[in-house]
C-alpha cells in the first residue's frame, strides 16, 4: 500500500434540474464575469445554452462566449480563449459540455491566470506548471472523460501532431453539475465511447502495480461492474435515467483517483491511444482505447496473472479455473472484447484506416523517440509498444 494524497474538492450537484443553480453557484465561488465555453451545435439546439444564459443573467452575471471546442480539444482555440479571458477580464470559466470542453476550459483558466508563461502549450509539455488558476465550473453533457472531477487536462497541438496531458491540483473544478437527462441525446456511438473511456480510467489503475489495496480494488471493481451494465443499457436505451445516471456518476468516480489510491498508477493504454488520436484527430478517444486494450492485455497478462484472474472473476463473473489460471485470465480479456463488439466498438486499430507503415511512427511518438518507456507490471519499451500496436492492427485483417 503506497502513500497517497486524495483531494477532490469539486462540489457535485447531481440530478434533475440541477443546472438551474449555476448562476448562484458561480456567485458563491466569487465569479462576476464568466467565460462561457462550449462545443458545437448540440448545446445550442437543445436550448441548454439559452437556459444557462438566463440563469447567469438572473444572477446579474456578465459573460462572454467562446464556442467551437472539438473532440481532442485544440491548442489554437485554447489560445483564443486565453486572449479573450485576459482582454475581457473574466474571473470565472464555465464549461458546458464533456471532457473536451472541460479540458479546454482548464487550459484557458491556467493560461489566463499565469501571464508570465507566454505559451500555454508549455504546461502540456511540462516546461512550466501553473501556480494559480481561475475558478471553474462544469455543466456536464457527456459522461466519458471524468474531467469534471479529475486533475487532468489533455490538449492537442495539430501543428506537431501531439496530444499531451498534464496534472495539477489547480485543474480540479469548483463545481460540477451532473444532470443525467442532459446526456439523453448523446448518440449510441458516443455513448459506447464514453463507457469505454470511463471503465478504462479505472481499469488502468487496477492493472497498475501495487499490493494490499483491498478497499481500492473493491471500489474499482464496483465501478467497472457498474459501467459495464450502465453503459450497455444506455447504449440500447438512451433515455433510461438510471443507466444514464449510474454512467454519469461512474465517469466522475472512475477518474477522480478513488479507484487507484495506494497503487502506483500508470496509464499505458491511454498513452498509446494519445498517439492514435493525436495523429488522427477524427478518432474518438474511447474508440481508440477499445481498439488497443485487448492487445495490450494479451501482451502483458502473464506479468500480473493473478490480477487478470481477479479481473475475470470479480468483474466478469468468470468461473475460476484454479488449475489453469491463464485460461481464466484470457477468458476475462475475451469477455471484455466481446463487450466492445456488442457496443460496436473497434477492437483493432486497422478499423480506423491506420496503415501498416504508420505503426512505427506511432511507436516512436509514444516512446518520445526512444526517450521514455511506459511503466507497469511489464515495462514497455519501443519494441513492446510497436508489437502491441501491430497485434491490434493485425486483428483487423
- Nearest to a copy of itself of 18, 105 (CB atom): 18
Mapped onto helix, strand or coil, the DSSP state of residue 320 is coil
- Shortest distance in whole angstroms from residue 244 CB to a copy of itself: 10
Residue 296's region, left for phi above 0, alpha for psi from -120 to 50, else beta, is alpha
CA distances from 10 to 92, 150, 252, 330, 341 (A): 15, 9, 10, 38, 35
- Nearest to a copy of itself of 119, 214 (CB atom): 214
- Nearest to a copy of itself of 9, 353 (CB atom): 9
- Shortest distance in whole angstroms from residue 272 CB to a copy of itself: 28
- Shortest distance in whole angstroms from residue 358 CB to a copy of itself: 38
- Shortest distance in whole angstroms from residue 95 CB to a copy of itself: 19
Q: Is 312 exposed, middle or buried (0-12, 13-18, 19+ CB in 10 A)?
A: buried
- Shortest distance in whole angstroms from residue 192 CB to a copy of itself: 18
- Nearest to a copy of itself of 156, 171 (CB atom): 171
Do the bridges between strand 175-178 and strand 92-97 make them parallel or antiparallel, or are there none, so unpaired?
unpaired
d(CA 55, CA 49): 10
Q: Is 246 exposed, middle or buried (0-12, 13-18, 19+ CB in 10 A)?
A: buried
Q: List interacting residues with a copy of itself (CB under 8 A).
A: 1-9, 11-18, 211-216, 218-219, 221-223, 225-226, 229-230, 241-242, 245-246, 249-250, 253, 258, 261-262
- Shortest distance in whole angstroms from residue 169 CB to a copy of itself: 9
- Alpha carbon dihedral 45, 277, 347, 379, in 10-degree steps, equals -140
- Is residue 227 within 8 A of residue 247, CB to CB? The reply is yes
d(CA 256, CA 364): 30
- Nearest to a copy of itself of 5, 357 (CB atom): 5
- Nearest to a copy of itself of 216, 284 (CB atom): 216
Q: What are phi and psi of 177, to 5 degrees?
A: -100, 120
- Shortest distance in whole angstroms from residue 19 CB to a copy of itself: 12
- Nearest to a copy of itself of 181, 321 (CB atom): 181
d(CA 147, CA 84): 23
Amino acid at each position: 500500500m503506497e502513500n497517497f494524497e486524495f483531494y477532490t474538492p469539486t462540489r457535485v450537484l447531481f440530478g434533475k434540474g440541477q443546472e438551474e443553480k449555476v448562476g448562484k453557484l458561480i456567485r458563491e465561488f466569487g465569479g462576476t464575469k464568466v467565460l462561457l465555453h462550449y462545443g458545437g451545435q448540440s448545446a445550442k439546439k437543445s436550448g441548454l445554452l439559452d437556459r444557462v444564459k438566463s440563469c447567469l443573467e438572473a444572477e446579474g452575471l456578465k459573460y462572454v462566449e467562446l464556442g467551437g471546442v472539438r473532440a481532442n480539444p485544440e491548442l489554437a482555440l485554447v489560445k483564443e480563449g486565453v486572449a479573450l479571458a485576459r482582454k475581457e477580464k473574466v474571473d470565472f470559466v464555465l464549461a458546458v459540455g464533456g471532457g473536451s470542453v472541460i479540458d479546454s476550459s482548464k487550459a484557458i483558466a491556467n493560461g489566463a491566470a499565469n501571464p508570465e508563461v507566454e505559451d500555454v502549450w508549455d504546461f502540456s509539455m511540462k516546461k512550466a506548471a501553473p501556480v494559480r488558476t481561475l475558478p471553474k465550473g462544469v455543466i456536464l453533457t457527456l459522461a466519458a472523460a471524468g474531467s469534471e472531477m479529475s486533475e487532468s487536462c489533455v490538449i492537442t497541438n495539430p501543428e506537431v501532431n501531439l496530444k499531451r496531458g498534464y496534472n495539477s491540483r489547480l485543474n480540479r473544478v469548483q463545481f460540477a453539475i451532473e444532470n443525467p437527462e442532459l446526456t439523453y441525446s448523446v448518440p449510441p456511438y458516443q455513448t459506447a465511447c464514453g463507457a469505454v473511456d470511463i471503465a478504462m480510467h479505472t481499469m488502468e489503475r487496477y492493472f497498475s502495480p501495487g499490493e494490499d489495496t483491498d478497499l481500492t480494488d473493491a471500489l474499482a471493481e464496483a465501478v467497472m461492474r457498474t459501467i459495464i451494465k450502465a453503459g450497455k443499457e444506455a447504449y440500447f436505451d438512451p433515455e433510461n435515467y438510471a443507466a444514464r445516471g449510474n454512467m454519469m456518476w461512474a465517469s466522475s468516480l472512475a477518474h477522480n483517483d478513488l479507484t487507484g489510491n495506494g497503487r502506483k498508477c500508470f496509464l499505458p493504454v491511454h498513452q498509446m491511444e494519445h498517439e492514435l488520436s493525436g495523429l488522427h484527430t477524427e478518432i474518438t478517444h474511447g474508440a481508440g482505447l477499445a481498439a488497443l486494450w485487448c492487445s495490450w492485455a494479451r501482451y502483458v497478462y502473464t506479468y500480473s496473472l493473478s490480477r487478470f484472474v481477479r479481473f475475470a472473476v470479480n468483474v466478469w463473473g468468470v468461473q475460476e479455473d484454479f488449475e489453469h489460471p491463464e485460461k481464466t485470465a484470457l477468458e476475462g480479456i475475451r469477455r471484455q472484447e466481446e463487450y466492445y463488439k456488442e457496443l460496436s466498438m473497434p477492437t483493432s486499430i486497422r478499423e480506423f484506416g491506420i496503415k501498416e507503415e504508420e505503426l512505427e511512427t506511432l511507436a516512436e511518438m509514444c516512446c518520445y523517440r526512444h526517450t521514455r518507456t511506459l511503466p507497469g507490471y511489464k515495462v514497455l519499451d519501443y519494441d513492446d509498444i510497436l508489437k502491441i500496436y501491430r497485434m491490434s492492427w493485425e486483428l483487423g485483417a
